[in-house]
Structure 1
Amino acid sequence: MSASLEIPESMRCSVLRAAGELEVQQRAVPRPGPREVLVRVGAVGTCGSDVHYYRHGRIGGFVVREPLVLGHEPSGRIVAVGPGVDAGRIGQRVSLEPGVPCRRCRHCHAGSYNLCPDIVFFATPPVDGAFAEYVTIADDFAHPVPEHVSDDAAALLEPLSVAIWAHHKAGTGIGSRVLVAGAGPIGLLVAQVAAVQGAAEILVSDPDPARRELARTFGATAVLDPAADAAPEVDAFVDCSGAPPAVLAGLRAVRPGGTVVLVGMGADEMTLPVAALQSREIVLTGTFRYANTWPTAVRLAASGAVDLDRLVTGHVDLEHVGDALSPDPAQVKVMVRP
């Protein structure tokens, strides 16, 4: 390390040994390589993918075959830098963009580095994540945040980036009418970003009454019970539920020439009304993480245009990560504080 604060030799981390089995272990503190920084982790958000790995040991083709540290929504403070990094960054508070691409493939050169086939992404087997006291990352993927942005909010720039990217794909703008399915953390952030972008109507659909009422406080102009309410015609539909019935209902609500964006992780396959897609020229697309979103996310959080702290409903330490990964409908976002 070319420069550093005082750093211990070992650290604690929460390790997924097998589905449903977590263990706090001692590991050596990693050392930053060239153009890398070492970050003392302040907060890490828990995500649906962490829950899925914890419960099932896999997501699609990503299989946990050896012990894995989960957690890909981290913030913290730089405590050491590797060769080639300005030592002046030591002490800087940062939000970590958890996927570092190869920078050489056609997708990276085109700016779509989220599609890089060789991206190294936290908590995606076999890459360890951030449920640990320290992590290293490429220096340009440790984004500075103002001191008034909390550790929790800095960590939640990651799900905020998911919402920003979803709207980028949806083409949301001033006057748009947007339908969002699912009032979990991502759906609530999609609603908030829609409001920031000037959407005229923001409809949020969720089967849980409490979540629907929460959505009203996050920018929804109207809420829908999917079992009882039909959605009006909308310009864009963003699915954050992953539920096939929600996808089909939302697709039918989109106007001719509108856009459907699939964000939620659900069934690997589903039957879609191809004739309606073709005859109404509906654009149907997925999202895979994000690209070039952190500068916007930092500005939105720092200005107060989005309220990330209000998503947080609980905190746990490394010894209780399993509690955070056991779904509780009353919780919105549980943060790990290593």
Structure 2
Amino acid sequence: MAGAGLLGLLSVVNLTRAGVHDVSVIEPRADRQALARQFGAREVYAPAAAPRDAFDVGVECSAAPAGFAALLGALRPRGRCVVLSDGNWGALTLTPDFHRKELSVVGSSDGEDYAAHARWWWPHVSPVLAALYPLTVPAAGLPGLYARLGRPDRPVSVLVDWETGAPP
């Protein structure tokens, strides 16, 4: 798996709870590497240290061209990759590894009813998942938050409190 942001960490939890116990993650940030281990990843690699030709299946959650390229490099010939991220940090382009190894890639994005999922999620959330939302901001704090999200030290995710602090 590439990326230990919100999608990546939720994917680690979902995979390990479904019985997949050999989840490995490629992630450049040390703080997110630690979260990936806490959430159940067996192995965590910096992109430069990621193994090559090691995995049959990969999950792209980094939203970054470098993460996607590292994941494709880590897949074995004829491996499969599902793209869950949107490529928010640049275009996710197919690398020479895609063609050389005859990989297959399938993408999925923004298909969920997020409001319905949120209504289900919060009453059922595990306490360990609270680490995914280290920052809560009132709606009025959103303009200031956007500048912070553009920096490399951005939080994993942010919970917006729409009930308090809303502008009049």
> Structure 1 length normalisation: TM-score?
0.40
For residues 222 and 193 of structure 1, what CA distance do their matches in structure 2 show?
16
Q: How far apart are residue 224 of structure 1 and its match?
A: 0.3
Kept in 1, the 8 Å contact 2:8–2:61? The answer is yes
Give per-residue Cα distances to partners, 1:171-219, cap 9 Å, x unaligned. xxxxxxxxx1111111111111111111131111111111111111111
CA distance in 2, matches of 1:224, 1:192: 18
How far apart are 1:277 and its partner, in Å? 4.4
Q: Match for residue 86 of structure 2?
A: 265
Q: Is the 8 A contact 1:202 1:220 kept in 2?
A: yes
Q: What aligned pairs does 1:208-223 form with structure 2 within 5 A after superposition? A: 208-223=29-44
Matches within 5 A, 1:14-163: none
Deviation of residue 257 (structure 1)? 4.0
Q: Which structure has the greater CA radius of gyration?
A: 1
Cα distance change on mapping 1:298 and 1:240 into 2, 3 Å: same
Query: Which residue matches 1:199?
Result: 20
Correspondence for 1:184: 5
* Alpha-carbon distance in structure 2 between the residues aligned to 1:300 and 1:322: 25
Q: Is the 8 A contact 2:86 2:109 kept in 1?
A: no
Contact 1:181–1:240, Cα closer than 8 Å, also in 2: yes
One-letter identity of the residue aligned with 1:331: P
The change in CA–CA distance for 1:303 and 1:225 in structure 2 (over 3 A counts) is closer
Per-residue deviation, 1:283: 2.1
Change in Cα spacing, 1:269 to 1:238, as seen in structure 2 (3 Å) is closer
Query: Structure 1 residues 181, 301: CA separation in 2 closer, same or farther (over 3 Å shift)?
Result: farther
In the alignment, is residue 286 of structure 1 matched against residue 107 of structure 2? yes
* CA drift at 1:232: 5.9
Give the structure with the higher percent strand: 1
Letter in 2 for 1:333: S
Q: What is the percent sequence identity of the aligned residues?
A: 28
SS of alignment partner, residue 201 of structure 1: coil
Deviation at 1:259, TM superposition (A): 1.4
Q: 1: CA distance between counterparts of 2:24 and 2:41?
A: 6
Q: 1:299 to 1:334 in 2, by over 3 A?
A: closer
Are residues 188 and 318 of structure 1, via their aligned partners in 2, closer, same or farther at CA, if it must alter by over 3 Å?
same
Flag the 1:244–1:285 CA change in 2: closer, same or farther, 3 A.
Answer: same
SS in 2 for 1:336: strand
- Corresponding pairs, count: 154
Higher share of residues assigned helix: 2
For the 8 Å contact 2:50–2:74, the answer to whether it is kept is no
Partner of residue 116, structure 1: none
Q: CA RMSD in A?
A: 3.0
The runs of 5 or more residues in structure 2 that have no matched partner are: 163-168
SS in structure 1 at match of 2:47? coil
Instruction: Say yes or no: does 1:336 pair with 2:144.
Output: no
Corresponding residue for residue 166 of structure 2: none
Residue 14 of structure 2 aligns to which amino acid in structure 1?
A: V
